[in-house]
Amino acid sequence: MTKIERERSLAVFVDLENLAMGFQNQRKTKFDIQKVLERLVEKGKLIVKKAYADWSRYQAYTAPFHEAAIELIEIPRRSQTGKNSADIRLVVDAMDLAWSKPHVDTFVIVSGDSDFSPLVSKLKENGKHVIGLGMKGSTSELLRDNCDEFIYYEDLERQEQDEQQITTTLYADMPDRKREVYTLLIEACNALRRENHEVLYASMIKDTMKRKKPSFDESYYGYRSFTHLLEEADDQAIVDIERNPKSGTYVVTRFGEREAPKKDKEGERPAGRHKR
């Protein structure tokens, strides 16, 4: 991907009623917006976040949506307008943003409703990249196939479970801060792989870690620089790093499975950096 693609500006529009109905039909726990946002920040900067509902009917969602800095658009349910009033307002806001804010290049429609398929087509006509996100049991194939990308909510749940299992098994013997920073490092590497980055440069990894955790600062974890963080992770066999021959900066060549620390003939970890 190009630098521009790595730094997408995203606008997120959430049709909460559609998602809530999907959860109710599948008898799942309520929709977790944080799972969605954690996945989307891997794709770029979240510029606009709006959610549409009759919030008097979905009060359990107001607090987590507020905490996620999402603008709540009130759409009172009326017998004259029905459920489509929320859909119409979402479409109007999305198209207005597409024309008035050209720097927003990616639109995320969090819904499985086929009624949004014309909106997706119009956004693509205007040069926008469109990502859909919904549930497998309640997502229209028409909407799914019309988007440039589509993410299933169930895949986010499975991804979170897998990452929690890795943290539990690989880093259980580490102090809390080390476990926290190494977990974030691996999550960032996984995020870049999901976005089809073949070469994982140190700068890209750090940018992704800061997007996933804006307060990230390697000095909080006891490192003088991000380079020192990567070098210790390499010493701990959590990642493998080597110098890029062109830029001279570190790239991560392996991650996700903790290996036994490498030893020299005397049984000690080599003092020098074997890959540098």
Answer yes or no: is pLDDT of 10 > 70.
Answer: yes
Beta strands in 75-113 (DSSP E): 106-110
Predicted confidence (pLDDT) at residue 26 exceeds the cutoff of 70 = no
- Does the pTM of the predicted model rise above 0.75? yes
- Residues 23 and 35: their CA atoms lie apart, in Å, by 15
Residue 65 is predicted with a pLDDT of 95
**pLDDT value at residue 95:** 97
pLDDT confidence tier of residue 67, bands split at 50, 70 and 90: very high
Cα–chain-centroid distance for residue 93? 23
What mean pLDDT, rounded, does the chain reach? 84
Cα Rg of the chain (Å, integer): 22
Query: Looking at the predicted structure, is the pLDDT value of residue 81 above 80?
Result: no
Binning pLDDT at 50, 70 and 90, where does residue 250 land?
very high
- Joined together, the tokens standing for residue 113 give 């409703």
Q: How far apart are CA 259 and CA 275, in angstroms?
A: 16
**Taking residues 183-211, what's their average pLDDT?**
91
**What does the DSSP assignment read for 138-172?**
G--HHHHHHSSEEEEHHHHHHHHHHHHHHHHHHST
Q: Which of 30, 115, 96 is nearest to 65 (CA)?
A: 30
Pick the more confident residue, 237 or 70: 70
The pLDDT assigned to 6 comes to 52
- Percent residues over pLDDT 70 in the chain: 81
Count of C-beta atoms within a 10 Å radius of residue 193: 13
